Structure 1
Amino acid sequence: MIRLPPDRLATHQWIVGTALSAPNVMLVAQTALVAALAVRPLPWAARGLGALGGMMAAGYLMEAGFPEAIRQPDREKTPILLGGFALALAMGLLGSRAARSRGSIA
């Protein structure tokens, strides 16, 4: 686990994220893409969400605490990590499907 001084913690969260959360930059991009899709079906926004989902799912797998949460389940951390990974994976797969279907997001 990385120990950061309080004055660097906010910057670290924006750029790198935490063990339980993607970087804020990715979360802002996700919010913007979801808002764009709420207005109308935009193939580029669906593909963008797919790319973000893939990156987020990969991030969970690279996180040091993920394998530990599988090997030694914790009542608090394991459901959060598994739920976040499953949702990121679903977002990646759905966005990938939209990209393959030539722009249709249905």
Structure 2
Amino acid sequence: MAARLPSQLGTIDISEGVIAKIAGVNATECFGVLGLAASDGWSDLLKKDSVDKGVRVQAMEDAKVRIEISLVVQYGVSIKAVAETVINNIRYHVENMTGLTVADINVIIRGIRV
């Protein structure tokens, strides 16, 4: 399902995969994030070219999306601070790049690496 964004000229459909890539790229740019983790429970780091594999996007009504992202973080960092930075970074970029509203973002820490 795609997120639907009405405009004066028609309707813009943005696939959940596109939103997942935006979220994944921007999460991995945050300090303390070593990478994404598969959302099926595996805590192995995913390769850089699979920036959307640890991200789930749910399109909602009224041009809103819900995002869930699974991460592996660096040992010694404040997990709360990293998660808040990830949430803010994803929200900013998804909303500015797509025009959609991010209803909420759930961060799941699936692993920690030394």
TM bucket, shorter chain: under 0.3
Structure 1 length as normaliser, TM-score? 0.26
When Rg is computed on C-alpha atoms for both structures, the one with the higher figure is 1
Structure 2 length as normaliser, TM-score? 0.25
Higher helix fraction: Structure 1 or Structure 2? 1
Higher strand fraction: Structure 1 or Structure 2? 2
